[in-house]
Amino acid sequence: MSTLRLILGDQLNPQHSWFAQADAAVIYVMMEVRQETDYVRHHAQKIIAIFAAMRDFARHLREAGHRVEYLAIDDPANRQSLPANLDALIARHAVTAFEYQAPDEWRLDRQLADYAAKLVIPARMVDSEHFFSQRDEAARLFAGRRQWLMEHFYRQMRMRHDVLMAGPGKPLGGRWNFDHDNRKSWSSVPCAPADWRGQHDHSVLWQSIRQAGVDSFGEPAAGHFRWPLNRQEALEQLADFIDEALPHFGDFQDAMAAGNGRLFHSLISFALNTKMLNPREVIAAVVSAQQAGHVPLAAAEGYIRQILGWREYVRGVYWASMPGYDAHNHFAHRLPLPAWFWNGQTRMRCLAHAIGQSLEHAYAHHIQRLMVIGNFALLAGLDPAAVHRWYLGVYIDAFEWVELPNTLGMSQFADGGRLATKPYVSTAAYIDRMSDYCRGCHYDRKARVGERACPFNALYWDFFARNGERLAANPRLGMVYRQLAGMDPATLDALQRRAVEVRAGIETL
């Protein structure tokens, strides 16, 4: 009698109840497969990080006395798909039961459910023991409501789990949300901490990935790799973040700087999304620092809102909306991604920095993703499905359950407002206010028309003018449409002609 247990590449949680004690009758299987590297084109660092962490996790399990079957990407016995490899292992070990942890992506959930249903041996799915909420929790909370609001979900989570509460129904500090206080630009004061993360040399692993024929893009950084390899490293990075950066995170979480891509951000989302870290321990550590007086309440609340609120909320949106959410295209946008999405070579300095940083480090923080790259994509009319695939591939922390709602819903408004209450777009003024990107740019941030006018300006007004039937009734956009109504027709015409020029010449911007 033997049980085969599958561990996916984003299920690297050594504290899962599966591993409480070693059992010779249980075989754990982990596999690096082309099925997972090839369904979308991924950043080199994302592939390296997941494979390196999987290998280290397998080592950890073996050292703890567990039986582990590990299929490397270049193993001749590797059939390069989950079902084919599972079939071979079940036959080889005369397995009598199959188990797997609940996948976080609908694609894998469906594949494994179908696979398990066809097996002649008992099969079952167990919880990943990671999230605060269940898959359907948001759907149950918002049942019958036309508009879902993250803030309502967030408050319910705060009360249920007693996080930053002064009593029943009473938020600490008398406010649920300090977002209004967390929008400062940064001009080198206070000093941003140095990158405290250690480095790894994954050159040999990278060579094996290349030799296996896996396609990728971006800088591999294989010889000086900074993403965590295991839970211990992730915990060290969390402690360093809380000690050195979190006190200023609240003030500057939306700020951007050409010379510092991370500022006061934690860079632990990869560790969280691969389950090296548990969100409960992250929140507990932040709350402890706030209670000790090391971290201001606004900074602690702003960070906790991203994990207990937004992260859990978008997961609920994802499971309530799949399958088919990735096909939404509210504005019928069809433009393909320009080539500079793959090399960062554009004269728009903000996009050159945000995309260039993404390609170099497989990372950009939420405002770079939303208000620079996503902002341009929506205003220009890029195909939201193509934008989604790019975000899913380029970012180290991008797994579909969290990336798809953020990209398609929040960034591109392609779901028509299921997730976001309005399109998050701006002219160059917002980017200039929150960053130093506009300094030295080829384009004039203040000009709206003309060859050197910042493309964001004309695209912004053209976007709202073209989509009045869809957006004018939105109460959060009343000021925009009042400004449009009062705009001189000749001015609007010039702006729209400039927008047409921008889209026509998008490859050479």
Q: How far apart are CA 363 and CA 396, in angstroms?
A: 6
Other CB atoms within 10 A of residue 422 CB: 13
Looking at residue 477, its pLDDT comes to: 96
Other CB atoms within 10 A of residue 67 CB: 18
Q: Tens digit of pLDDT for each residue in 163-182?
A: 999 999 999 999 999 887 77
145: Cα within 13 Å, side-chain hemisphere: 15
Q: Tens digit of pLDDT for each residue in 347-395?
A: 999 999 999 999 999 999 999 999 999 999 999 999 999 999 999 999 9
Contact (Cβ atoms closer than 8 angstroms) between residue 413 and residue 330: yes
As a three-state string, the secondary structure of 300-350 is HHHHHHHHHHHHHHHHHHHHHHCCCHHHCCCCCCCECCCHHHCCCCCCCHH
Evaluate the CA torsion angle 293, 252, 312, 271 in order and state its sign.
negative
Looking at residue 448, its pLDDT comes to: 97
Q: How far apart are CA 461 and CA 481, in angstroms?
A: 10
For residue 318, report the phi and psi dihedrals to the nearest 5 degrees. Answer: -60, -50
For residue 450, report the phi and psi dihedrals to the nearest 5 degrees. Answer: 105, 160
Looking at the domain 137-193+245-318, which fold is it? 1.25.40
Please report, for residues 172, 173, 290, 296, 477, the alpha-carbon distance to residue 176 in angstroms, rounded to integers and kept in the order given. Answer: 8, 8, 15, 14, 24
Looking at domain 3-126, its CATH class is: alpha beta
Q: How far apart are CA 36 and CA 41, in angstroms?
A: 10
Q: How far apart are CA 236 and CA 226, in angstroms?
A: 13
Q: What is the pTM of this model?
A: 0.96
**How is residue 111 written in tokens?**
């594949």
DSSP state for residue 15 in the 8-state scheme: T
DSSP line for 29-67: EEE--HHHHHSS-EEHHHHHHHHHHHHHHHHHHHHTT-E
Domain extent listing, the chain:
3-126, 137-193+245-318, 339-508
**Interacting residues of 169 by C-beta distance below 8 A, sequence separation 6+:** 159
Q: How far apart are CA 408 and CA 318, in angstroms?
A: 11
- CA torsion, points 90, 91, 97, 103, in degrees to nearest 10? 20
Looking at residue 108, its pLDDT comes to: 98
Evaluate the CA torsion angle 443, 447, 452, 457 in order and state its sign.
positive
335: Cα within 13 Å, side-chain hemisphere: 19
Name the pairing type of β-strands 165-167 and 170-171.
antiparallel
First CA to last CA distance, the chain:
64
Show pLDDT as tens, one digit a residue, over the chain (509 residues).
899 999 999 999 999 999 999 999 999 999 999 999 999 999 999 999 999 999 999 999 999 999 999 999 999 999 999 999 999 999 999 999 999 999 999 999 999 999 999 999 999 999 999 999 999 999 999 998 877 889 999 999 999 999 999 999 999 999 999 887 777 899 889 999 999 899 999 999 999 999 999 999 999 999 899 999 999 999 999 999 999 999 999 999 999 999 898 999 999 999 999 999 999 999 999 999 999 999 999 999 999 999 999 999 999 999 999 999 999 999 999 999 999 999 999 999 999 999 999 999 999 999 999 999 999 999 999 999 999 999 999 999 999 999 999 999 999 999 999 899 999 999 999 999 999 999 999 999 999 999 999 999 999 999 999 999 999 999 999 999 999 999 999 999 999 999 999 999 999 99
Looking at domain 339-508, its CATH class is: mainly alpha
